[in-house]
Amino acid sequence: MNIQYRKPRVFVLALILVMSVIVSACGDKANTATNKPGTNNNAQESSSNLLQQVKDAGVMKVGLMGTYPPYNFLNENKEMDGFDVDIAKEVANRLGVKAEFVAQEFSGMVAGLQAKKFDTVISQMTITEDRQKQMDFTEPYITNEVKIIVKSNNNDITKLEDFKGNNIGVGLGTNDETYLRNEILPKVGKFNIKTYDDANTSLQDLNAGRIDATINNLYALKPIIDKNGFQVKAVGEAIKADSAGIAVRKNNPEFRDALDQALKDMKTDGTYKTIFVKWFGEEPSSK
């Protein structure tokens, strides 16, 4: 009798053991599934610690064109120089690190930032709704008025409506290009848009008569015009004002806030004003 009852007990114990293994396996799968979002959260958390990563490295990598005086350009010593460069150096210094500059054509600036080629973009990147979908920005560190530029002997183009039927130059991938294509072209009527990687080349073409006008801000164009003796002029009132900020990858709030605080402190203690006057010969607007 005892032997007959032992077999079912053994069977029951074996069955319980098998069920325990199955439940445990299911539990592991559930935990694995549950942990997947946790893995993503860790990635986001790691991303949000960019500020600490920059501090640990002792370097803040800055993307800029390097061909856009007086904002950013190579000086006679083949070193990055300009308003953006001085701003970047001072901001980095206030974070306790050094600025390292990475030259990049403007049309590839967003992709370069997202590919982690650099930590920030400090290259007159205008804050727009479209760009804010791809990157985060600090508060503006400069606002530029954009005007129409034509040859000195051109009296036919004085306003945007005069662009119709003409060849208009603009920086490739810039807010100005988007502005011409999406806002002005539909209103004014057909005109040809020619894009450029730098302001110098667009002014060369304007001076040579290969385009009829371009749009840009005078802070950017004046040193190029003076250096090359281009026979061009600004006409009419400013067509728009662009505010540029420091761009960073999304989901890095600590890093962005630290940059914002550095800019705020620079304005409070007068450092920003000193840099502005150095490059533009006038005090920044109080607006």
Answer yes or no: do 126 and 102 share one domain. yes
Stretch 167-189: mean pLDDT: 96
Answer yes or no: do 131 and 202 share one domain. no
Q: What is the pLDDT of residue 11?
A: 41
Give the CATH number for residue 86: 3.40.190.10
Q: What is the pLDDT of residue 73?
A: 95
**Residue 13 counted as domain residue:** no
Answer yes or no: do 236 and 164 share one domain. yes
Encoded amino acid at 74, one letter: L
Answer yes or no: do 72 and 212 share one domain. no
Q: What is the pLDDT of residue 120?
A: 99
Closest CA to 95 of 258, 287, 263: 258
Confidence band for 4, pLDDT divided at 50, 70 and 90 = very low
pLDDT of residue 261 exceeding 80: yes
In contact, 117 and 63? CB cutoff 8 Å? yes
Confidence band for 93, pLDDT divided at 50, 70 and 90 = very high
Q: What is the pLDDT of residue 285?
A: 80
Answer yes or no: do 172 and 226 share one domain. yes
The CA distances from residue 25 to 19, 35, 114, 144, in Å, are: 10, 15, 39, 63
Confidence band for 133, pLDDT divided at 50, 70 and 90 = very high
Q: What is the pLDDT of residue 220?
A: 87
| Per-residue exposure over 125-147, b if at least 16 CB sit within 10 Å of its own CB, e if not | bbbeeebeeebbbbeebbebebb
| Average pLDDT value for the chain | 87
Answer yes or no: do 154 and 128 share one domain. no
Report d(CA 114, CA 278) in Å as an integer: 32
Stretch 133-153: mean pLDDT: 97
Answer yes or no: do 75 and 102 share one domain. yes
Stretch 205-234: mean pLDDT: 95
Q: What is the pLDDT of residue 6?
A: 43
The CA distances from residue 89 to 11, 54, 58, 94, in Å, are: 76, 14, 13, 9
Digit-coded pLDDT (tens) for 273-287: 999 999 999 999 865
**Residue 148 counted as domain residue:** yes
Answer yes or no: do 86 and 156 share one domain. no
Stretch 106-122: mean pLDDT: 97
Other beta carbons within 10 angstroms of residue 59's beta carbon come to: 14
- For the chain, how many structural domains are there in total? 2
pLDDT of residue 222 exceeding 60: yes
Answer yes or no: do 108 and 236 share one domain. no
115: containing domain: 57-141+245-280
Answer yes or no: do 233 and 160 share one domain. yes
Stretch 3-29: mean pLDDT: 42
Q: Percent of the chain having pLDDT more than 90?
A: 78
Q: What is the pLDDT of residue 42?
A: 37
Report d(CA 15, CA 21) in Å as an integer: 10
